[in-house]
Chains A and B, each alone.
Chain A
């Protein structure tokens, strides 16, 4: 049986009287990169953020349907939402370094979950900064504010910070959209390595990036999923008219 990490069932989400996600049904396969593809405003970020219930924060939000993580519903009353969120590292469009030092940014997640041993902390921070290839660039200024880093470095720091709390998934919301091509490449490459150990959901509107990265594609249009499936099938043999138009660029 195909292992799916996340399963979305009949998800509907509206904010006020705006119906943003319509009857979403999809599966996110384990330890693969699933790309949610679609043009701006189609609801792909909202779908991503409903997976770790950041959508709870939206004013006037209404949600029906269910999302299963490891076959367990995430909206149930017994679900501890902080635990749920910790299982999913988030990268946003623009890096959002916390207002503290480089070191503390990575250590933050460890600290709030109660780990306090100093040496262990140091080792872990170093480890995760190495994972994202940032260690050599920052090892001499770990105490400097995170905002002093370049934007590409900040994004890698945010990745290290997310990885440090030991998540099962990484939710990436167009994490390269604010970066220069070179920094984008670094991040993309990192994710290709990470997919062996993590389930990755990557939101993008860039077709070429989706082609480069996707194992599995979910294509959205105006709040609905039009088509989904393994990347090869999706790109080579699209079934739906809208998908075909999007893929050959005659899309508006």
Chain B
């Protein structure tokens, strides 16, 4: 065996080992995160807090050892759902326009635009929210409904969040609509459909599982978004009682409080439990969405 081939075999082996190591790191990271969050927050259970109370009580008084996460969970759910409700029709219409109607050159311009939108740091969206959306809500939208508010509300958070998830959902939607074979459009048109009938009866039907999972991934994304929402959502601990009420989503709770008041017993465990709720929810959402995408790709 020549020296050269020995060297090549050696390199090859080394490459494989390094790659497996890197891969292992990537695979085990979520497991390690889950394990550490669980270990830390399990102290809560050991000290007489039932899972039911933690999830469904709204009494948040850390100094008295009461950790009811309900206000944060409800805030998170409401702000997420609202943001997706705002983002969904916009994403939907833009994706349909770009894949079905738009001129080639326009599509070419739009791709970098969505990429830029997706790449803007979260904190920039937060600042923009304070500068533009907060006054918009306090001076225009809320007075329109006869309500007075500071502008730091559930709605404000949802608007900022929806703008952040639009490019993310849009990119997936465009990809999914582009996987629908062009022959289906041709077939539909040849049967005398209008363009819109083809889109409605054929393309959207074919892409349905993918569309659902795109919004699933969008929800997971919105649920975990922290800084921008924290900056505009108000952060008052109560269950929001309307669009113009302040809200306090889970990620904001953790970001605002970790590192502070750590002398309070079990406080850090409670925050870890909040992180665990986020982790598990997002994990499940991603998992389900991926499964749907996988099935779709296999059936195409």
Contacts and interface: CB of A to CB of B under 8 A. Distances in A.
Contacts of B187: 90, 92, 96, 98, 158, 161
Interface residues of B, number: 21
Contacts of B181: 96
B104 to A, nearest CB: 4
B250 to A, nearest CB: 39
B175 interface: no
Interface size class of A (residues with CB under 8 A): 20 to 34
A89 B193 CA distance: 12
Contacts of B190: 52, 54, 85-86, 88-90, 162, 171
A117 interface: no
Interface stretch (B33-41, B86-94, B122-130, B200-208): B200-208
Contacts of A86: 190-192
A87 to B, nearest CB: 9
Given A60-B104, A98-B202, A82 B186 contact: no
Interface string A109-133: 1001100000000000000000000
Contacts of B104: 59-60
B189 interface: yes
A57 interface: yes
A12 to B, nearest CB: 21
Nearest to B107: A59
A99 B205 contact: yes
Given A94-B183, A112-B197, A99 B191 contact: no
Nearest to A164: B191
A47 to B, nearest CB: 15
Given A108-B201, A112-B197, A98 B103 contact: no
A94 B184 CA distance: 10
B105 to A, nearest CB: 9
Nearest to B203: A99
B65 interface: no
A108 B191 contact: yes
Contacts of B184: 96, 98-99
A63 interface: no
B192 A82 contact: yes
A144 interface: no
A89 B201 CA distance: 19
A79 interface: no
Nearest to A49: B186
A90 B183 CA distance: 10
Interface in B181-223: 181, 183-194, 197, 201-202, 205-206
Instruction: Give the interface centre of B189, B202, B205, B299 by most chain A CB atoms within 10 Å.
Output: B189
Interface of A: 49, 52, 54, 57, 59-60, 82-83, 85-86, 88-90, 92, 94, 96, 98-100, 108-109, 112-113, 147, 158, 161-162, 165, 171
19 contacts: A83-B192, A85-B190, A85-B192, A90-B187, A92-B186, A96-B183, A98-B184, A98-B187, A98-B201, A98-B205, A99-B184, A99-B202, A99-B205, A100-B205, A108-B191, A109-B191, A158-B187, A162-B190, A165-B191
3 tightest A-B CB contacts, nearest first: A86-B192, A96-B183, A90-B190
